[in-house]
Amino acid sequence: MNSIKKTNNRTNNVYTLVASLLFVLTALTVTAIAQQVKIYPSSIRLDKGKTRTVTAVAFDSSGNYLPNKVFSFSLASGTPGIASIRRSPEGDTGNGRSYLSGNLGEIAGQLAGRVTFTATVDGVISSPVTVEVHDPAAAPQATINGDNDAEGGQTIRVRTGEAIEVSGEASRGVQLAEWFWGDGDRTGDLISATHAYLKSGTYQLRLKVTNEGGQTSETSVPVIVTDHPAATREFVVRNVAELLAAYNQCIGGEHMDCLLSD
């Protein structure tokens, strides 16, 4: 009986030691001081009357993520009435069993305009998140940005099979956004979109926006699609060694035929 008691005592001591170590490690993690704070995403388009959530993250001096931090969120620039921010309610909000998130901020759009917010913890302030609040009831104005920016917004140039990226974020009075690609395809309900053309030619890309009152605005940009140029050199490879050797010689524009066997 005495040996059993001694064994149990030793076991209890081990459990106590492990629990103490875990407590110390947890305490060290929680109390580590942040050296850098980031907030994601860095920019938001938000309709009046809607909400979006941002995430704040803290890092130590070595760039390691610090969990369990509780951030405060505040207005950095702009008119307070344009948008508000608070720690995001989590859990069962319908039955009064919610709590405030430590690192999520809820932004509410109130008036059309631009503001910026920051997150703070341990006295360290994040870079700002820019919030553009738009009024879907405003007079509509369609604007296309993206791959056309390289040529002053006038033209998009792309190879066959390669995707283009376009955005209507700068548009105003948007309840509905529709993209007409000029090749028979259409994309709806996306303020930003991507598309690939399978044949060369010139297409007229058109963006149509509709506001809450049913008013519309359209804008367009030509898309010039060209085939890929002919290969400058050709390699025929029959095994992995030849494939690697050919790959190391490539400088751009080559065509490679692979005749690899299983």
Mean pLDDT by 10 residues, the chain (262 residues): 46 52 50 89 94 96 93 96 95 73 96 97 96 96 89 90 94 96 95 96 97 96 91 80 84 66 53
CB 234 within 8 A of CB 192: no
Is 145-226 in the same CATH topology as 36-134? yes
Rounded distance between C-alpha atoms, residue 6 and residue 60, angstroms: 44
pTM of the model: 0.69
Give the residue from 164, 185, 184, 188 showing the smallest Cα distance to 174. Answer: 188
The per-residue pLDDT for 172 is 94
Q: What is the pLDDT of residue 98?
A: 76
Q: How many angstroms separate the CA atoms of 129 and 54, rounded? A: 9
Q: Where are the domains of the chain?
A: 1-31, 36-134, 145-226, 232-262
- Its CATH class, for the domain covering 145-226, is mainly beta
**Pick from 217, 114, 204: which is nearest to 173 by CA?**
217
> What is the predicted pLDDT for the residue at 154?
87
pLDDT for 31 equals: 60
Beta strands in 67-183, from DSSP E residues, in sequence order: 72-77, 83-92, 97-109, 113-121, 124-125, 129-134, 145-146, 156-159, 163-167, 176-180
CATH 3.40.50.2300 holds for 36-134? no
pLDDT at 2: 46
